[in-house]
Amino acid sequence: MTRVDVHGHTVLRQRLLDSFEKGSLPQSMLFHGPAGIGKQALALWLGGVLLCENSPAPCGTCRHCRYQQALTHPDFIWVFPRPRLKDSDASPDEVKMDIAGAIAARVEAGNLYAQPPGNEGIYVPTIRMVVRAATVTPALARKKVIVVGDAERMVSQEGSDQAANAFLKLLEEPPANTWIVLTSSAPGALLPTIRSRVVAVRVSPLSPAEVHGWLTDPEVRDRLNDAALPSTVAERVALAAGSPGRLLEAQAGKAAADIARRLLDAASVGDRERGTRLALSAGSSGARGAFTEVLESLATQLAERARGAISEGDERVARAVARAIEDVEDAKALAYGNGNPQLITFSLFDTLSSAFAGRR
Ligand SMILES: [Zn+2]
């Protein structure tokens, strides 16, 4: 079974446990610290502490702990940036379905994930769902725990909005059985009205020994893509610089650059069949983040080709590549507007192919 573990942060975890046992754990908290150090993993762990029915918590064996380990506890609500749903008036149940799918994908990936792409956010229907979840009676446990990851990406935090107001009220006076943890690597981007209602908890980067422990955990080790990372553990520890997420970003970036390079190669020889396969994989479901990275990488690689063509004095190709870069920029705009990644890539492949056709 997939485990969702927290690594390191031992001193902070002990401090949180002490407050929990004394009954003084604040009900509205903000975990802040650099990206990729495991703030959400820590919040999931704390959720397990709060929901567990044994002492000392988390016991790891009661039904609450078991549900929490699989991230299927009905009294645990975890939200984070997602693509905007087509229906801007999506019901709380629709939001729950969408986020349940995204959580299942994170569990499946051993909770190792790169940052959500920039076009994803925590939109109003999600905030409404969270507010509503806070008002209902716990289904199974005596408490409810709500975690809002990358909270600075809550869209429409303005006080004029009804959902935002209800959310502020929730932070200020959570129901007696409800704990809320926001996490952010950019707490300065949160509205002051939010910051003033939460107890800030600073989360530090992991020590080199803790990163080493993370890297050598068999569950983690099996999931890392060796081709995308430095070969030795020591080099990986150095690249992480206290943030395992940095390695996951490097891995995601490398994968996207690979697809972009193969797509360009296929376009430059006009191999439509291969282009189609690559378009399908670039746009496969759940990989929208990776898709926008593929486009970013395409733009970078095309710019390199344009420079190459100019230095070879091949103006015609340089102009064609410059036009192709504009097409990639258009495709990026479509992707950010939730366009279909496969269709975008198919059409882009054709444009790139014709841009390179003169060379064949
Ligand atoms: Zn337990």
pLDDT per residue as tens digits for the range 301-345 = 988 888 888 888 888 888 888 888 888 888 888 877 777 778 888
Cα–ligand 1 centroid distance for 144 (angstroms): 15
% of the chain exceeding 70 in pLDDT: 94
Q: What is the pLDDT of residues 167-186, one digit of tens each?
A: 999 999 999 999 999 999 99
Cα–ligand 1 centroid distance for 141 (angstroms): 11
Residue listed under structure tokens 């150095």: 238
Cα–ligand 1 centroid distance for 47 (angstroms): 11
CATH 1.20.120 applies to domain 243-357: yes
Strand partners, 121: 82
Q: Residue 147: in which H helix or E strand, if any?
A: strand 144-148
Does pLDDT of 159 surpass 70? no
What SS3 class is residue 154?
A: strand
Contacts of residue 57, Cβ cutoff 8 Å, sequence gap at least 6: 17, 20, 48, 49, 50
Residue 322: what pLDDT? 86
Residue 246: what pLDDT? 92
CATH 3.40.50.300 applies to domain 10-204: yes
Residue 45: what pLDDT? 96
- With 0.85 as the threshold, say if the pTM is over it: no
**Ion ligand 1 — residues with CB under 5 Å?**
52, 54, 59, 62, 65
What SS3 class is residue 319?
A: helix
CA distance 134 to 127: 11
Question: Which region among 101-115, 148-162, 303-317 has the lowest average model confidence (pLDDT)?
Answer: 148-162
Q: What is the DSSP string of 163-200?
A: HHHHHHHHHHS--TTEEEEEEES-GGGS-HHHHTTSEE
Q: What is the DSSP string of 77-136?
A: EEE--BPPPSSTT--HHHHHHHHHHHHHHHHHTTT--PPPPTT-BB-HHHHHHHHHHHHS
CA distance 35 to 32: 9
Question: Which region among 54-58, 142-146, 312-316 has the lowest average model confidence (pLDDT)?
Answer: 312-316
Does pLDDT of 150 surpass 90? yes
Cα–ligand 1 centroid distance for 284 (angstroms): 38
Model confidence at 114, in pLDDT bands (50, 70, 90)?
confident
Q: What is the pLDDT of residues 263-286, one digit of tens each?
A: 888 988 888 888 888 877 776 544
Mean pLDDT of 101-107: 91
Cα–ligand 1 centroid distance for 49 (angstroms): 7
Does pLDDT of 249 surpass 90? no
Cα–ligand 1 centroid distance for 55 (angstroms): 8
Pairing relation of β-strands 199-202 and 178-184? unpaired
Residue 75: what pLDDT? 97
Cα–ligand 1 centroid distance for 159 (angstroms): 39
CA distance 230 to 245: 15
Cα–ligand 1 centroid distance for 316 (angstroms): 68
Helix/strand/coil (H/E/C) assignment for every residue in 37-61: CCHHHHHHHHHHHHHCCCCCCCCCC
Residue listed under structure tokens 């902070």: 12
Break the chain into its structural domains and give their ranges. Answer: 10-204, 209-239, 243-357
Cα–ligand 1 centroid distance for 65 (angstroms): 4
CA distance 198 to 28: 5
Cα–ligand 1 centroid distance for 69 (angstroms): 10
Residue-averaged pLDDT of the chain: 88
Mean pLDDT of 173-200: 96
CA distance 87 to 248: 32
Pairing relation of β-strands 144-148 and 178-184? parallel
